[in-house]
Amino acid sequence: MFKQFFYFLSFFFIMNSFSQNNEIGVFIGNSNYIGDVGPTTYVNPFQNPNYVFGVLFRKNFSNRIAGRFSFNYSDIGSSDNWKSSVDYRKQRGKYFKNTISEISLGVDFNFFEFDLMNDALQMTPYVHTGINYLRYNALHYPIGMSQARKYGENSTFSIPITIGYKIKPFSNIILGLEVRANHSFTDNLDGSYPQYKNMELYSQKAFGANLSQDWYVFTGFTLTYIFGDQPCYCPK
């Protein structure tokens, strides 16, 4: 399903890529996780070198609104022993590592007019939201161990909430800085809430607050290249 959805969207955007102003490029940055293991800080991309890399396509419908399709791959991880963890987590001593592969479809909204066809310097803050489909490792904590171990793979959805700032210093290049907080629909990115048959024979009990689901945050830079024909509004 993951591959078929990716191929379908890729084909759709390729077939429509020459009718509007378009961008294609990359996203590079760090990620941090918010959940039941490790520090409780919300945006801290430097708490651990968890890298994220992605590719993105923007289809600009106007100077204010653009559709965005992207694929991101990221490591995430956390530890109760890190300096900013609360005391009871340090005493518990859990830690984990995981990977996320996601495809995302959403909408960007520019606060100011951002004209891709104007050679003058352009810049604006923007917000973004949409829907993500992600794959991740299903984790658990074997009895007597502090490190989470993989027992399978799983998938879910997440909702991105993004704020960013972008600038067009050259005619065909756009640079951006953004922070994207993703609210996932799972509580087991960290292994704190495993669910599989005969779990009680091999795993420690679930812990943490399962009323709140896990978050992951991407902080980084975008670099995109503008392509496509400028629409013509010539009189007939």
Residue 43 neighbours by CB distance under 10 Å: 11
Q: Measured in whole angstroms, how far is the alpha carbon of residue 230 from the centre of its chain?
A: 31
Fold of 27-227: Porin (2.40.160)
Q: What is the pTM of this model?
A: 0.84
Q: Do residues 215 and 183 lie in contact, with contact meaning Cβ atoms separated by under 8 Å? A: yes
- What is the predicted pLDDT for the residue at 97? 94
Look up residue 95 and give its two tokens: 């830690």
Q: Where are the domains of the chain?
A: 27-227
Distance (Å, rounded) from C-alpha 194 to C-alpha 190?
9
Spans in the chain with pLDDT lower than 70: 1-20, 42-43, 45-47, 83-85, 210-211, 229-236
Report which of 52, 45, 59 is spatially closest to residue 16, judged by C-alpha positions. Answer: 59
Distance (Å, rounded) from C-alpha 43 to C-alpha 80?
17
- Report the chain's mean pLDDT, rounded to a whole number: 85
Residue 59 neighbours by CB distance under 10 Å: 20
Q: Measured in whole angstroms, how far is the alpha carbon of residue 217 from the centre of its chain?
A: 7
User: Residues 173-187: pLDDT tens digits?
Assistant: 999 999 999 999 999
Residue type, 156: T
